[in-house]
C-alpha cells in the first residue's frame, strides 16, 4: 500500500472517489463525524479501563473506524448487520444511520456508552456489555464474543431475506482470525451455493491476538480464499473510508441483484492492544507509527481540506462538538442505574405462548387413549414427525426445514420423506455436511423472522454445532436485553440399540440441558412426538428436539386434526401407588415393561414420562413421589452427570421427608457405547435392571 504524500494527490483521490460514488457533502462530513465519535468513544473507554473505572473485557476499535463507517455507509436503512467482540464501531455507525435528529443521535451514543459500562439504560440493559452490543430492533443482530461466531448467523439471516423475497442485504463483520475457523468456510460455502444476499467484511488488522497474519497462512490476502467458493474476493484499503464504502457498495448492489455474496478484506490496524491487558510486545513502535501516519480520520480530513470543503478551524470545531457529545454520553452512563437484582432471571426465555386450553386438551387425549383407544388412528413415530412438519409448514409459511439429506432422500430415518415433493427445495433445504453452519443459519434465520427446523443427523454430531446453538441461539435473547427472539428447532436423534458403536449411539441430552436459554424435548410416543414438535415449532425459543433412533417404527394412537402438547408438562404413562419411575424417551417403554412384570408381584409402579427435560415439570414428579414414597430414575445417558441426577436432586430438595427409601438411579455405563451387541446390551439400561432396582427400593 502506498502512502499518498502530496496535497494534490490527496485532493484528487478524495474528490475522485466522492464524484464516482455521487456522495453529497453532508454524507461525507457525516462519515468524518462518525469516525471521530467512534475514536472518542474508544479513547474514553481506554481511559476508564486504565483507571479501573470500567471492568470487564473491552476490545477497542480505534484505528479501524473507516471500515465500519464506510461499510455501513453503503447500506440502506433496512439492511442488517452482524458484528464481533470488537464491535463498538459497527454498532455506532449502524445506530447513527437510523438516528435522524441530533437528539436521537445523542441518545444512541448514550446507550452505547451505558451498555459498555453495564448500566440498565444500555442497549441490552447492561446484560451484554462491550462485546455484545445489539440494537436488534433496527437490524443490528448483535455482536459475538466467539471468533467467527456471527458468520453463520449472518448467512442464516441472508437466507431468511432470500426466502422472504425482500431486497435486504446482510453485512457481516469479522476479524482476520475468523478466516481460520471452520464456521467461516462452512458459511461462505453455504452462502455461495444458495447465492445469498450477504457481504462478508474481514477486518484484517494484521494480528489475530498476538500472532501476525503471515504466521497463520501462506496467503498474503484473506480475500484469496473467496476463490474456493466461487465468489468475488476484494482487497481494499481499510484506512480509507471512501475506498471501503465503494467496495462494499458494489458488493451490496451485487447481492441485491441476486448475484450472491462477496468477501471483502479491509487492510487496517488497531491502535490499542487486543484488550486492555495486552502489552503489544509482538509489534514495534515503528510499525505502529507507520500505520498511524495513515490514520483514517486525518486522511479524510486532509482530503476535504485540500478540496476546500472544510478548513482546519472547521475540523477543530467538529472535534469540540464530538468531545462535548462524549462528555454527555459519559455523564448519562455514569449516572444511570445498574440493573436491579430482579433482572437476573429476566430475558432468558421468550414468553410461553401455549394456553390452558392446550393443557386441558392434552389431558383429555391422554385419558381417552386409556378409555377409548380404538377411537384413534395408529401412526408410527416417524410418520407423526412428518405429519407435524407438514402441518406446521402448511399453517405458517415462515416454517422451513434445513439439514443433511432431508430433501429427496427424506432424512436418515425417513422422518422428512415426502416434504420435498410438497414444499420444494426452498422449504426443505438440503445442506452441505456442515453442522455449525446448519445450526448458525437457523439462528440467523430465526432472528430475521423465519421459523427454521434444522436437522443434525445424530446427537453425537451436535457438539460440532455447540457454539452456534449454545453461545448464539440460546444466549442471544438474554445478552441482547430480551429484545430478540430465536424461534428455532434443532431436530436430532440419539440413543443406542442398532450396534453402530460409539459415534452414533450416545444420549447427550445432558450437554444441552446445561445451557440456559434452550429447551430440551425427548418424546417417547407418536402422540407425544407430533404434539411436542408442533409446540416447539410455534415456540419463540430455541428447542433441542431429540428423537430416539429405536422409536421411529413404534406405533401408537394419534388424534386427527391439529393439536399441540405444551412444553414442560410431564405425562403419567401408568398410575401406581408403590414406586415412582421417572424417565423419558425410549426408556419409557422399558419402564412400562418393568411395571407389568412387577404388577404380577403385587408392586404397583407409577411411570412418569418427563417428555421435556427443559422446561422440567418437577411438580408432577414431586406429587408422584409424595404419593409413592419411592423413586427410581431411569435414563439412557451416561451415569456420570446424567440429567436424571438433576431430577433426583430436585426431588431431594422438595420431597426428602416423603421418601421411604433411598432413591435409585439406572443409567448407561460410563463407557463409550460398544459395537458388539452383547456389550451394547450390557452398557444401556434394560427391563431387568429396572425391575431389580424397583425390587430393591421396596424391600
Q: Over 50: is that where the pLDDT of 120 sits? A: yes
Predicted confidence (pLDDT) per residue in 275-316, tens digit: 888 889 999 999 999 999 999 999 999 999 999 999 999 999
pLDDT band at 353 (very low <50, low <70, confident <90, very high): confident
Nearest in space to 566 (alpha carbons), one of 366, 376, 396, 353? 353
The structural domains of the chain, with segments of one domain joined by +, span: 7-335, 356-558, 571-698
Contact between 544 and 490 under an 8 Å Cβ cutoff? The reply is: yes
Residues written for the chain: 699
Predicted confidence (pLDDT) per residue in 532-573, tens digit: 999 999 999 999 999 999 999 999 999 998 999 999 999 999
pLDDT band at 5 (very low <50, low <70, confident <90, very high): low
Nearest in space to 30 (alpha carbons), one of 117, 111, 98? 98
The grid coordinates of residue 261 equal 455474496
Q: Over 60: is that where the pLDDT of 2 sits? A: no
pLDDT of residue 374: 87
pLDDT of residue 622: 98
pLDDT of residue 1: 42
Q: Do domains 356-558 and 571-698 have the same CATH topology?
A: yes
Predicted confidence (pLDDT) per residue in 648-670, tens digit: 999 999 999 999 999 999 999 99
Q: Which residues does 407 contact at the CB level (< 8 Å), separation at least 6?
A: 416, 420, 425, 428, 429, 430
* Paired strand residues for 521: 545, 612
Predicted confidence (pLDDT) per residue in 154-180, tens digit: 999 999 999 999 999 999 999 999 999
Q: Over 90: is that where the pLDDT of 58 sits? A: no
Residues labelled catalytic: 435, 504
Nearest in space to 108 (alpha carbons), one of 94, 120, 118, 119? 94
665: phi then psi, degrees, rounded to nearest 5: -115, 130
Segment (H or E) for 66: helix 65-73
Contact between 171 and 81 under an 8 Å Cβ cutoff? The reply is: yes
Lowest mean pLDDT segment, chosen from 249-258, 602-611, 678-687? 678-687
Query: Which one is the CATH code of 571-698: 3.90.1170.50, 3.40.50.80, 3.40.50.920, 3.10.450.50?
Result: 3.40.50.920
CA dist 545 and 529 (Å) reads: 9
CATH, range 356-558: 3.40.50.970
* Paired strand residues for 455: 403, 491
Predicted confidence (pLDDT) per residue in 617-637, tens digit: 999 999 999 999 999 999 999
Looking at every residue in the chain, the average pLDDT score rounds to: 95
CATH, range 7-335: 3.40.50.970
pLDDT of residue 545: 98
Amino acid at each position: 500500500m502506498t502512502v499518498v504524500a502530496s496535497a494534490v494527490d490527496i485532493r484528487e483521490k478524495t474528490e475522485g472517489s466522492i464524484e464516482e460514488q455521487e456522495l453529497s457533502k453532508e454524507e461525507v462530513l457525516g462519515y468524518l463525524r462518525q469516525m471521530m465519535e467512534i475514536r472518542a468513544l474508544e479513547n474514553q473507554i481506554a481511559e476508564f479501563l486504565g483507571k479501573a473505572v470500567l471492568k470487564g473485557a473491552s476490545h477497542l476499535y480505534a484505528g479501524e473506524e473507516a471500515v465500519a463507517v464506510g461499510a455501513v455507509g453503503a447500506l440502506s436503512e433496512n439492511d442488517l448487520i452482524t458484528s464481533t467482540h470488537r464491535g463498538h464501531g459497527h454498532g455506532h455507525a449502524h445506530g447513527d444511520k437510523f438516528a435522524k435528529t441530533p437528539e436521537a443521535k445523542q441518545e444512541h451514543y448514550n446507550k452505547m456508552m451505558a451498555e459498555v459500562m453495564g448500566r440498565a439504560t444500555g442497549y441490552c440493559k447492561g446484560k451484554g456489555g462491550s462485546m455484545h452490543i445489539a440494537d436488534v430492533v433496527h437490524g443490528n443482530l448483535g455482536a459475538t464474543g466467539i471468533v467467527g461466531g456471527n458468520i453463520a448467523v449472518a448467512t442464516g439471516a441472508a437466507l431468511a431475506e432470500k426466502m422472504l423475497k425482500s431486497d435486504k442485504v446482510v453485512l457481516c463483520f469479522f476479524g482476520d482470525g475468523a478466516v481460520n475457523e471452520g464456521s467461516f468456510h462452512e458459511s461462505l460455502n453455504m452462502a455461495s451455493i444458495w447465492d445469498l444476499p450477504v457481504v462478508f467484511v474481514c477486518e484484517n488488522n494484521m494480528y489475530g491476538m498476538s500472532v501476525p497474519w503471515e504466521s497463520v497462512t501462506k496467503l498474503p490476502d484473506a480475500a484469496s480464499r473467496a476463490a474456493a467458493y466461487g465468489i468475488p474476493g476484494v482487497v481494499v484499503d481499510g484506512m480509507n473510508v471512501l475506498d471501503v464504502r465503494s467496495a462494499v457498495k458494489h458488493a451490496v448492489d451485487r447481492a441485491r441483484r441476486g448475484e450472491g455474496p462477496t468477501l471483502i478484506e479491509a487492510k487496517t490496524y488497531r491502535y490499542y492492544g487486543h484488550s486492555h491487558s495486552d502489552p503489544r510486545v509482538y509489534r514495534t513502535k515503528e510499525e505502529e507509527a507507520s500505520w498511524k501516519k495513515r490514520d483514517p480520520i486525518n486522511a479524510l480530513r486532509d482530503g476535504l481540506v485540500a478540496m476546500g470543503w472544510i478548513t482546519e478551524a472547521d475540523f477543530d470545531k467538529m472535534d469540540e462538538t464530538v468531545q462535548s457529545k462524549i462528555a454527555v454520553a459519559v455523564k448519562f452512563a455514569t449516572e444511570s442505574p445498574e440493573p436491579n437484582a430482579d433482572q437476573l432471571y429476566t430475558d432468558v426465555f421468550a414468553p410461553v405462548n401455549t394456553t390452558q386450553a392446550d393443557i386441558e386438551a392434552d389431558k383429555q387425549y391422554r385419558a381417552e387413549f386409556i378409555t377409548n383407544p380404538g377411537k384413534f388412528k395408529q401412526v408410527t413415530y416417524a410418520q407423526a414427525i412428518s405429519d407435524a412438519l407438514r402441518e406446521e409448514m402448511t399453517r405458517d409459511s415462515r416454517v422451513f426445514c434445513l439439514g443433511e439429506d432431508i430433501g429427496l432422500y427424506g432424512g436418515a430415518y425417513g422422518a422428512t420423506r415426502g416434504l420435498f415433493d410438497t414444499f420444494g427445495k426452498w422449504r426443505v433445504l438440503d445442506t452441505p455436511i456442515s453442522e455449525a453452519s446448519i445450526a448458525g443459519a437457523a439462528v440467523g434465520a430465526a432472528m430475521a423472522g423465519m421459523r427454521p427446523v434444522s436437522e443434525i443427523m445424530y446427537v453425537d454430531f451436535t457438539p460440532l454445532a455447540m457454539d452456534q446453538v449454545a453461545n448464539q441461539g440460546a444466549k442471544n435473547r438474554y445478552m441482547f436485553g430480551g429484545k430478540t427472539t430465536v424461534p428455532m428447532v434443532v431436530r436430532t436423534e440419539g440413543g443406542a440399540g442398532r450396534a453402530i458403536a460409539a459415534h452414533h449411539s450416545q444420549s447427550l441430552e445432558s450437554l444441552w440441558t446445561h445451557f440456559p436459554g434452550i429447551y430440551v424435548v425427548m418424546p417417547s410416543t407418536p402422540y407425544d412426538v407430533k404434539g411436542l414438535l408442533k409446540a416447539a415449532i410455534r415456540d419463540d425459543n430455541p428447542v433441542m428436539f431429540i428423537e430416539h433412533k429405536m422409536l421411529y417404527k413404534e406405533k401408537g394412537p394419534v388424534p386427527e386434526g391439529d393439536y399441540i402438547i405444551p412444553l414442560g408438562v410431564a405425562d403419567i404413562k401408568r398410575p401406581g401407588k408403590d414406586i415412582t419411575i421417572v424417565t423419558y424417551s425410549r426408556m419409557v417403554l422399558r419402564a412400562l415393561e418393568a411395571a407389568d412384570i412387577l404388577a404380577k408381584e403385587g408392586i404397583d409402579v407409577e411411570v412418569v414420562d418427563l417428555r421435556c427435560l427443559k422446561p422440567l415439570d418437577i411438580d408432577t414428579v414431586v406429587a408422584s413421589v409424595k404419593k409413592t414414597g419411592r423413586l427410581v430414575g431411569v435414563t439412557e445417558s451416561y451415569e456420570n452427570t446424567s440429567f436424571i441426577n438433576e431430577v433426583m436432586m430436585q426431588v431431594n430438595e422438595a420431597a426428602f421427608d416423603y421418601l421411604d427409601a433411598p432413591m435409585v438411579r439406572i443409567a448407561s455405563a460410563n463407557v463409550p457405547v460398544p459395537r458388539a451387541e452383547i456389550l451394547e446390551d450390557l452398557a444401556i439400561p434394560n427391563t431387568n435392571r429396572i425391575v431389580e432396582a424397583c425390587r430393591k427400593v421396596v424391600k
